Structure 1
Amino acid sequence: MRKNLPNILTVSRIVMVMIFVVLATLANHAYLSEEWIFPLRLGAYILAILAGTTDLLDGHLARRWNQITDFGALMDPLADKIFVTATMLIAVEYRLMPAWIAVAVLCREFMVTGLRTLAAKKQVVISADRWGKLKTALQMVMLAIAGASWVWEFDLHSAKWFGVRLWYVWIAYLCGIVLVTVLSGLGYFIRYRDLFLHTGDDKSEK
């Protein structure tokens, strides 16, 4: 069991995200009666939190137990992208964030995934740096706040805090996340530019 636990967590994240999408889609006032809305949204929110937790656990356990496998190396980043894409699309659908925020974050995620794929072909491992970890932490907090406001139907658009509309504070926070996300991605491309600029014989980077 222990031998396969990191991979089990990775696969479970994908399954939980799929169920989350179904529940979040059904939890619309247009589809079901009022009494079903809150339980479905709460269930979807809990699944998203659990999926995010497995994102932190699977890689950590694989490294700690020295159980890094080809399956895990392939599926873990894919599961991460599925999670981020699904949660952000739901957030956009429910008007919890502007679409351009999701587009900016997802573009960075897929570009870095492409860079890591290229690096893997050249036997170079690109590990997450502190900016990448900060980006992930900020995104998790963002999704937790957005999810909570969605479950309990707290209107970020009209609510005020000391006379200031919370929507403006929320947008400022989202813009900060986009800035950190883009800069962290740019850092990878600058640091590993030889991977895609080098035209001679490939040399593995140690």
Structure 2
Amino acid sequence: MNLPNKLTISRIILAGIFILFLFIKGPGAKFIALALFLTACVTDYYDGYLARKNSMITDFGRFMDPIADKVLILSAFLAFVELRIVPAWMVMVIITREFIITGIRFLALSKKKVLAAEIVGKHKTVSQIVSVLFILIFLIIKESGFTFRYVHHYRSFIYFLMSITVLMTLVSGVSYMIKNRDVFTRER
């Protein structure tokens, strides 16, 4: 297994540790969760960079990289629902899109095709990462005991960010289905 693929696998492991710290009380645990999330995001950048730079792109990497992204992001969003920070309906939209796209990827794989990520999907991922980062910062501030007058504005800001994320998720899902509609046709 090459280094980029090892980084992809490490992101899945980091996601589990991240969630563990997310549910531990206290600002220190939330700060560690933030550091783990950022580390996982950096591995996402470097696995692709190294694979492209060193001609180490593999079908495994093309397939597992978006899966690792989904594990990291969806676990964060599900935790935020449990912590009552993000509305469940928003996360359900995101999860539904991810399952549909993953299903399309599996269908393509059964036809010996590997579907790479596309640019609109990368923008979706960036919007999801930004939302998670701001929510983590909110949790650190909240658990530090700071009370600030504009906390309701911060919650509105989180809702606004999540609305953009849901919209980007829907747009990227529709785009992906249209671009890869040939996966649904029978081969003759």
Shared fold (TM-score, shorter chain, > 0.5):
yes
Percent identical residues? 36
Of the structure 1 ranges 164-173 and 106-115, higher mean CA displacement relative to structure 2 is found in 164-173
Structure 1: segments with no counterpart, 5+ residues:
29-36, 202-206
> Are 2:137 and 1:148 equivalent residues in the alignment?
yes
> Match for 1:58 among 47, 52, 57?
47
**Letter aligned with residue 176 of structure 2:** Y
Aligned partners of 2:126 and 2:8: how far apart in 1? 18
Residue in 1 aligned with 2:153? 165
| Alignment CA distance shift 1:169-1:76 (3 Å) | closer
Aligned partner of 1:133 in structure 2 is 122
Q: Which moved more, 1:64-73 or 1:128-137?
A: 64-73
Mapped contact 1:13–1:54 kept (Cα < 8 A)? yes
CA distances 1:14-70 after superposition (whole Å, capped 9, x unpaired)? 221111112222x23xxxxxxxx1221111110011112211221221122111234
Candidates 3, 9, 22, aligned match of 1:24 = 22
Supply the RMSD in Å over aligned alpha carbons.
Answer: 2.3
Tell me what 1:199 maps to. Answer: 186
Q: 1:189 to 1:160 in 2, by over 3 A?
A: same
User: Residue type of the partner of 1:115?
Assistant: I
Paired position in structure 1 for 2:169: 181
Give the alignment's TM-score, normalised by structure 1: 0.79
Kindly indicate whether the alpha-carbon contact (under 8 Å) linking 1:101 and 1:174 is maintained by their aligned counterparts in 2. Answer: yes
Match of 1:33 in 2: none
2 CA distance for matches of 1:123 and 1:141?
34
CA shift, 1:5, in A, is 1.7
- Aligned mates of 2:75, 2:37 — CA distance in 1: 10
Cα distance in 1, alignment partners of residues 174 and 64 from structure 2: 24
Q: 3-state SS of the aligned residue for 2:49?
A: helix
Q: With a CA cutoff of 8 Å and minimum separation of 6, indicate the structure with the bigger relative contact order.
A: 2
For 1:126 and 1:116, how far apart are their aligned partners in 2? 6
**Deviation for aligned residue 1:81:** 1.7
Match in the other structure for 2:87: 98
2:26 corresponds to 1:47? no
Moved more, 59-68 or 119-128: 119-128
1:152 counterpart SS class: helix
More helix by share: 2
The alignment of Structure 1 onto Structure 2 pairs a total of residues equal to: 185
Residues 176-195 of structure 1 deviation map (CA, whole Å, 9 limit, x = unaligned) = 21111111111111122121
Q: Name stretches of at least 5 consecutive residues in structure 2 with no aligned partner.
A: none
Supply the AA of the counterpart residue of 2:180.
Y
Give the C-alpha shift of residue 200 in structure 1.
4.7
Q: For the Cα contact (< 8 Å) 2:134–2:158, is it kept in 1?
A: no
Change (3 A) 1:170 1:38: closer
CA distance in 2, matches of 1:124, 1:10: 20
| Higher Rg of the two aligned structures | 1
